């Protein structure tokens, strides 16, 4: 539901970098978003299409790379992805340990732009 605020903020960053880079048009925007972020990809694109009208980034294609939620097992140092909606306990698939640390899945940044 907060996609609109997120997209407005993203557009501001994109336009700033596009202008600095003397771009004539932004063709695509590559976003890296961790699975922990509750955003609906389809909403992001349609809000973006709406907000970016009459800007350098109008019509740009959003390429959203979703990064998995990954935990690190404190017992055996194994790194493993987890789909949190599908499990009831978070345990290492290698040793069964439940002492684990979240190491990624919260990413939320603009990686790069493809421009002309």
Partner 1 sequence: MAEMRLIDVKKEILSDNQARAAENRELLRRNRVFMVNLMASPGAGKTSLILHTIRELQEAFRIGVIEGDIASAVDAEKVAAAGVPAVQLRTGGFCHLDATMISMALQEMELAKLDLVIVENVGNLVCPAEFDLGENKKAMILSIPEGDDKPLKYPLMFSVTDALVINKMDYLGGEADFDMTAFMARIQSLNQTVRTFKVSCKTGEGLESWTHWLRDEIASCRGAVPETIQ
Q: Which residues in this chain contact partner 1 in the complex, by CB under 8 A?
A: 1-2, 5-6, 9-10, 12-14, 17-18, 20-21, 23-24, 27, 31, 36-38, 69, 71, 84-85, 87-90, 98-102, 105-106, 108-116
Least Cβ distance, residue 53 to partner 1 (angstroms):
20
What are the CA-CA distances from residue 94 to residues 68, 77, 103 (Å)? 18, 10, 17
In this complex, which beta carbon is closest to partner 1, that of residue 53 or of residue 74? 74
**Phi first, then psi: what are they for 28, rounded to 5°?**
-150, 160
Least Cβ distance, residue 68 to partner 1 (angstroms):
12
Altogether, the residues listed in the chain come to a count of 116
Helix H or strand E segment including 116: none
């Amino acid at each position: 539901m907060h996609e609109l605020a997120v997209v407005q903020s993203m557009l501001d960053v994109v336009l700033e970098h596009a202008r600095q880079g003397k771009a004539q048009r932004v063709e695509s925007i590559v976003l890296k978003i961790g699975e922990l972020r509750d955003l609906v990809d389809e909403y992001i694109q349609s809000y973006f299409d709406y907000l970016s009208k009459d800007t350098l980034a109008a019509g740009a294609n959003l390429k959203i790379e979703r990064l998995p939620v990954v935990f690190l097992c404190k017992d055996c140092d194994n790194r493993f992805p987890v789909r949190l909606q599908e499990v009831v306990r978070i345990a290492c698939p290698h040793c069964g340990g439940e002492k684990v640390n979240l190491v990624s899945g919260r990413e939320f940044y603009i990686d790069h732009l493809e421009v002309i």
